[in-house]
Amino acid sequence: MTSLKFTDLIAEAEKSDKNVEIEAADGSVVKLREFSNLPGADFKTVLKYIDILQDEKVKETSKIDAMDLCLIAACDKKDTMKEMLELLPLSGREAIFNAWMEAAEVPES
């Protein structure tokens, strides 16, 4: 019989080499978790926002909001990420998003 422990499964997800770490202005580290290791609600949220980002009929401002909300859903310190995104120019936000997409191999919907 196979036996799995919840704590072991979480620990395995946390040590993924596909996580992206960002140093915030206050020196804390925010971790963007690998797509496949996101908890259920965050996983579904990210999928929803990826769909919005890929929809050609959606306005650019809505796509920027979707990108930010995707990053917030994928990270471990949501309030810190939200504060960072509010202060960063679009190019900084895109750099974070692109690094996470590349490292996490987020599927196209």
Residue 71 resides in a domain: yes
Query: Residue 19: its pLDDT value, please?
Result: 86
- pLDDT value at position 16? 72
Q: Is residue 3 part of a domain?
A: no
Alpha carbons within 13 angstroms on the beta-carbon side of residue 29 total 5
pLDDT at 109: 46
What pLDDT is stored for residue 52 in this prediction?
Answer: 95
In a domain, 5, yes or no: no
Global pTM value: 0.84
Residue 8 counted as domain residue: no
Whether 32 contacts 22, CB under 8 Å: yes
Domain that holds residue 31: 22-104
Output the pLDDT for position 91.
96
Mean pLDDT by 10 residues, the chain (109 residues): 85 77 93 88 94 94 96 95 95 95 68
Is 7 domain-assigned? no
Q: How many domains does the chain have?
A: 1
95 domain residue, yes or no:
yes
> Residue 30: inside a domain, yes or no?
yes
User: Residue 14 and residue 92: Cα distance in Å, rounded?
Assistant: 25
